[in-house]
A and B are shown apart, each in its own frame.
Chain A
Amino acid sequence: MSDDAFRDALRDLIPDYTGPVDPLPRVFASVRRRRIRQRTLLAVGGTGLAAVLALAVPALLLSGSGGGVRTAAPYDPSAAAGPMPPVYPVTAGVVDGADWAIGSTTLAPGARRCLYSDDDVSWARTTCFDDWTAGAAVTWAADPIADKGHQVTRITGVAPAGTAAVRVRLQAAAPVTLPVRSTPTDRDARFFGDVLPGTMTVLDVTALDDAGAARGDPVTHPGFACTATADRACATPVN
């Protein structure tokens, strides 16, 4: 066998392989299965019940669409195994050597503009900014997390269209500039997020344009956002 024939044979040991018509459902089924497996392991272990319940957030049926605190149906294991709502990538990174990722999603009519994480530093965390309206100033939330042995601060928020980035000023660290991302979750919104080591206090968040100039005043107070708790989704304000 010549070297070329060897290479060719090595590259295609299964010449008759056709594969699935569309492999994408398999890939996303894998994403979902891994999450369900995590929930099951937790449930079997009898520990971390709160985390189990929090993991069910995407499958919970939220009720009520008005402002203020939202309520949700009690945790239902069968609901947890239901279809995951689509989560669109927003940002990702590494903190304390652990991978994290934030995506946008819509949980229900009353929880449309949500930023979701289920990674190496957090169990399923969802922060929703439903009170934000198109064109309004930037809104944000800072959420201390210690779910998986890493004490971190998860910053999430929504900025209006036309925003290229946001600058986040911190009390005990240098400011960080975060890119914003448009996703199908809400075309009027520009989502952003970051996970920082330790417990951080955010002083303010400023929307920036393409040139890096401020678009409006710094927003010193976090906006209204809600997150999931052990027994209710979006029942507890983040801030």
Chain B
Amino acid sequence: MPDRVAEDGFADFARARWGRLVRLAYSLTLDVGRAEDLVQESLAKLWTKWPQVRDGAPEAYVRQTIVNGAISASRRRWKGEEPRWDLPEVPAPRGALEADAVDQRDWLRRGLAELSVLQRAVVVLRYAEDLSERQVAEILGISAGSVKTHAFRGLARLRAGGHPDRTGSEEARR
């Protein structure tokens, strides 16, 4: 089945974007398994819309589906297995001078876990996906002013999370 639809462009699209989309989904769910499931479901949904969106913006469509899926999942009372950041095996935070890429990612994961899913989505779309406030507002169905507020508060909470260095402080003031 996958090979037979290759000529429609969907197969190439899905294969080429899988990793990037999983990374986006991970930044929203903070769980690899859930991120993969989310991308899988979103691409399945995209497949049914492929004739409509193939010549338009399929990546934007699937990105919106992922974001909405992550937000919807977070609103459900039971969300299955939750990532925990206070497990004994998690290494203790290091000092500023020891912070390296691994520490930064670890700290960022912890910080994102402390944000509301909406704040997390705004921060990810705004700074990882490089979308404008207006684009983020359209995806999330909120006003541009709310995007700005969530971005500011999200970054402020990340900074308050104790990273030894500043984090996007200039962006937050914009």
Show the binding face of A for B, using Cβ within 8 Å. 1-3, 5-7, 9-15, 17-20, 22-31, 34, 84, 86, 88-93, 99, 101, 119, 181, 184
Chain A residues contacting B163 (CB-CB under 8 Å) are 1
Q: Cα distance A14–B21 when bound, in Å?
A: 12
Asked whether, in the complex, the Cβ of A24 is within 8 Å of the Cβ of B11, the reply is: yes
29 contacts between A and B (CB under 8 A): A3-B170, A3-B171, A6-B168, A7-B127, A7-B128, A9-B104, A10-B27, A11-B27, A11-B128, A12-B105, A13-B26, A13-B108, A14-B22, A14-B23, A19-B36, A22-B15, A23-B18, A23-B39, A23-B40, A24-B2, A27-B44, A30-B41, A31-B48, A34-B44, A86-B4, A88-B4, A89-B8, A89-B48, A92-B50
Main secondary structure of the interface of B (DSSP, over half): helix
Contacts A3-B170, A13-B27, A101-B48 given: A26-B105 contact, CB under 8 Å? no
- Contacting A at CB under 8 A, from B87-101, are 99, 101
Partner of A89, one of B41, B51, B166: B51
Contacts A3-B171, A19-B19 given: A30-B40 contact, CB under 8 Å? yes
Q: Cα distance A7–B27 when bound, in Å?
A: 12
Give the total of B residues in contact with A, Cβ under 8 Å. Answer: 49
Main secondary structure of the interface of A (DSSP, over half): mixed
Show the binding face of B for A, using Cβ within 8 Å. 1-2, 4-5, 7-8, 10-11, 14-15, 18-19, 22-23, 26-27, 30, 32, 36, 39-41, 43-44, 47-52, 99, 101, 104-105, 108-109, 112, 123-124, 127-128, 130, 163, 165-168, 170-171
